[in-house]
């Protein structure tokens, strides 16, 4: 409880494999930070559920038995551990000018500022998503989904701990200051917003939540994959463990949207509706029509592509060259891992057409990661379409053109349709309602957001899961609401 914080035995209450007990300096820094973290969690974490007992997965160690132990826990009592993937004997830096040298166990002085910035940017996204999602508990479509939301939330909280540990352990007074700032910024705040655009958007409903975890958590996965390649070994090991949790977040998003698609398809079949654009009749069934799902996907995809930054970036080149941030699956790529003379095709809009232009590969690393992201995303979209196909519904969810609705990079300012036509302002204004969610879509989705809190009950617009969590059924009491 809050008044016993001073008595917490941090070396044992924080599951860790970094010998916290033997590291007085970091232990003291964490002890000072923890009450502020809890204040933040109570202020900005899931609203109205701080006393509920939630069936959560806690990582108490990184081995097979320990990394996923399930039990009921009140979220403020969650054991936010500091866990790094095991150290690899003899690991060397896999890319850049230091390729082949032993990995660093301490921060190299010349890369200190660069590393700190990357860790802070990654760290900032973790609490941001918790803040974005804090009102969703009130309208959960089932206890199963409520539990999954909270699982994602506590793990994003743990990811913040992971980044704060690195800051406090390796960056001295600067790191401690950054750790406090990570608790100070607020998603969507006018004066001190979170650092990246998509993390200041609202997550007003569960469809937005599932789309966010599908599209935007996947950007997180790509960033973590790149940082997991880092020559700074503590960062690499931290990210490798975070990726195990991140997989669940994308599962929540992909299956969440998948279950919505399934329910819509089933309802259409039951009602004998074959035209997916017969929106009014479909909505009257209490399910979400597929064109609306497509518009939501368009929005979240475009917002997420912006997170990859400018197509050409000197910062990205420096981070690679110095061995700090690699490429997606760097060690599986068959090239020299130096890229000094290599080129990479970058999509541009030139003379009225989209063309690929060969650019220096080092400068184009953001573009490359974005391409890897798009390929990864497309696999999930194909699984959504299989759900429709299996049920005989003639509709295909598609990824919009990369230039659609972009705010950052070479396509910012262009008005481009999802199919890649460049439009005039008048054409855009006329068609925007077909491309992006409208206020009327939002109102309709809001009308479906009524809480369903009975064990085994599900809202009208989402199918139950095929299997539950931890081998429990879909009717397990995943959350025990406080009396």
* Least separation in angstroms between CB 53 and Fe ion: 23
Our finding on whether 116 is near Fe ion (CB under 5 A) is no
Q: Could you tell me how many residues of this chain bind Fe ion (CB under 5 A)?
A: 6
Considering beta carbons, is residue 142 or 213 the nearer one to Fe ion? 213
Considering beta carbons, is residue 113 or 247 the nearer one to Fe ion? 247
* Least separation in angstroms between CB 403 and Fe ion: 27
Whether the Cβ atoms of residue 74 and residue 299 lie closer than 8 Å to each other: no
CA dihedral 146, 151, 157, 162 (to 10 degrees): -170
Q: Which listed range, 180-188, 215-223, 281-289, 353-361, lies at the site for Fe ion (CB under 5 A)?
A: 215-223
* Least separation in angstroms between CB 483 and Fe ion: 31
* Least separation in angstroms between CB 246 and Fe ion: 5
Q: Which listed range, 57-65, 197-205, 241-249, 315-323, lies at the site for Fe ion (CB under 5 A)?
A: 241-249
Considering beta carbons, is residue 213 or 322 the nearer one to Fe ion? 213
Angle CA(340)–CA(341)–CA(343) in degrees, nearest 5? 110
Considering beta carbons, is residue 217 or 441 the nearer one to Fe ion? 217
Distance CA 36, CA 471 (A): 36
* Least separation in angstroms between CB 82 and Fe ion: 14
Considering beta carbons, is residue 208 or 262 the nearer one to Fe ion? 208
Site for Fe ion in 7-66 (CB under 5 A): none
Distance CA 408, CA 366 (A): 12
* Least separation in angstroms between CB 330 and Fe ion: 21
Whether the Cβ atoms of residue 123 and residue 167 lie closer than 8 Å to each other: yes
* Least separation in angstroms between CB 373 and Fe ion: 14
Contact letters for Fe ion, residues 137-176 (x by CB under 5 A):
-------------------x--x-----------------
Considering beta carbons, is residue 195 or 481 the nearer one to Fe ion? 195
Considering beta carbons, is residue 128 or 267 the nearer one to Fe ion? 128
* Least separation in angstroms between CB 371 and Fe ion: 21
CA dihedral 129, 135, 139, 144 (to 10 degrees): 40
Q: Which listed range, 2-10, 107-115, 123-131, 255-263, lies at the site for Fe ion (CB under 5 A)?
A: 123-131
* Least separation in angstroms between CB 216 and Fe ion: 8
* Least separation in angstroms between CB 80 and Fe ion: 12
Nearest alpha-carbon partner for 226 in 236, 234, 216, 214: 236
Tokens of 205: 């409903």
Q: Which listed range, 60-68, 233-241, 243-251, 333-341, lies at the site for Fe ion (CB under 5 A)?
A: 243-251
When binding is defined by CB under 5 A, the residue of 57, 218, 249, 327 that contacts Fe ion is 249
Q: Which listed range, 219-227, 302-310, 386-394, 446-454, lies at the site for Fe ion (CB under 5 A)?
A: 219-227
Distance CA 78, CA 72 (A): 10
When binding is defined by CB under 5 A, the residue of 124, 131, 201, 217 that contacts Fe ion is 217
* Least separation in angstroms between CB 11 and Fe ion: 25
Q: Which listed range, 15-23, 87-95, 213-221, 358-366, lies at the site for Fe ion (CB under 5 A)?
A: 213-221
Considering beta carbons, is residue 198 or 367 the nearer one to Fe ion? 198
Q: Which listed range, 49-57, 211-219, 334-342, 429-437, lies at the site for Fe ion (CB under 5 A)?
A: 211-219
Considering beta carbons, is residue 251 or 428 the nearer one to Fe ion? 251
Considering beta carbons, is residue 220 or 409 the nearer one to Fe ion? 220
147-170 as b/e, with b when 16 or more CB fall inside 10 Å? Answer: bbbbbbbbbbbbbbbbbbbbbbbb
Q: Which listed range, 121-129, 292-300, 452-460, 468-476, lies at the site for Fe ion (CB under 5 A)?
A: 121-129
φ/ψ bin of 425: left (φ > 0), alpha (ψ from -120 to 50), beta (otherwise): alpha
Distance CA 234, CA 175 (A): 15
Binding site for Fe ion (CB under 5 A): 126, 156, 159, 217, 220, 249
């Amino acid at each position: 409880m809050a008044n016993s914080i001073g008595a917490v035995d941090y070396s044992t209450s924080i599951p860790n494999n970094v010998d916290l007990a033997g590291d007085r300096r970091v232990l003291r820094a964490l002890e000072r930070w923890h009450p502020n973290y809890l204040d933040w969690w109570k202020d900005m974490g899931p609203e109205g559920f701080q006393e509920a007992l939630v069936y959560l997965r806690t990582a108490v160690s990184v081995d097979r038995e320990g990394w996923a132990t399930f039990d009921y826990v009140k979220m403020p009592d969650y054991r936010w551990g500091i866990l790094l993937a095991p150290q690899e004997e003899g690991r060397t830096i896999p890319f850049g000018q230091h390729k082949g040298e032993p990995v660093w166990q301490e921060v190299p002085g010349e890369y200190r500022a660069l590393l700190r910035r990357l860790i802070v940017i990654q760290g900032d996204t973790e609490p941001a998503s918790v803040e974005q999602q804090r009102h969703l508990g009130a309208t959960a479509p089932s206890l199963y989904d409520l539990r999954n939301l909270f699982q994602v939330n506590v793990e994003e909280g743990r990811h913040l701990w992971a980044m704060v540990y690195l800051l406090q352990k390796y960056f001295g007074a600067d790191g401690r200051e950054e750790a406090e700032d990570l608790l100070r910024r607020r998603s969507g705040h006018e004066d001190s917003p979170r650092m990246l655009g998509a993390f200041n958007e609202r997550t007003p409903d569960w469809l937005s939540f599932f789309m966010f975890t599908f599209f935007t958590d996947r950007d997180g996965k790509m960033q973590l994959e790149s940082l997991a390649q880092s020559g700074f070994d503590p960062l690499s090991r931290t990210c490798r463990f975070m990726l195990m949790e991140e997989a669940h977040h994308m599962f929540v998003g992909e299956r969440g949207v998948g279950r919505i698609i399934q329910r819509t398809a089933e309802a259409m079949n039951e009602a004998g509706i074959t035209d997916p654009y017969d929106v009014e009749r479909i909505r009257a069934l209490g399910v979400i029509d597929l064109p609306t799902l497509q518009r939501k996907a368009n929005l979240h995809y475009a917002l997420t592509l912006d997170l990859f930054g400018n197509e050409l970036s000197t910062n990205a080149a420096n981070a690679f060259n110095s061995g700090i941030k690699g490429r997606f699956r760097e060690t599986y790529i068959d090239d020299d891992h130096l890229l000094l003379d290599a080129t990479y095709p970058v999509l541009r809009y030139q003379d009225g057409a989209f063309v690929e232009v060969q650019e220096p590969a080092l400068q184009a690393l953001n573009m490359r990661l974005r391409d890897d992201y798009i390929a990864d995303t497309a696999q999930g979209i194909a699984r959504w379409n299989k759900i429709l196909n299996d049920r005989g519904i003639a509709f295909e969810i598609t990824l919009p053109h990369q230039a659609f609705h972009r705010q950052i990079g070479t396509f910012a300012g262009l008005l481009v349709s999802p199919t890649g036509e460049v439009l005039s302002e008048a054409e855009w204004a006329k068609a925007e309602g077909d491309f992006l969610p409208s206020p009327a879509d939002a109102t309709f989705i809001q009308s479906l957001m009524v809480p369903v809190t009975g064990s085994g009950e599900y809202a009208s617009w989402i199918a139950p899961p095929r299997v539950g969590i931890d081998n429990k059924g879909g009717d397990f009491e995943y959350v025990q609401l406080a009396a």
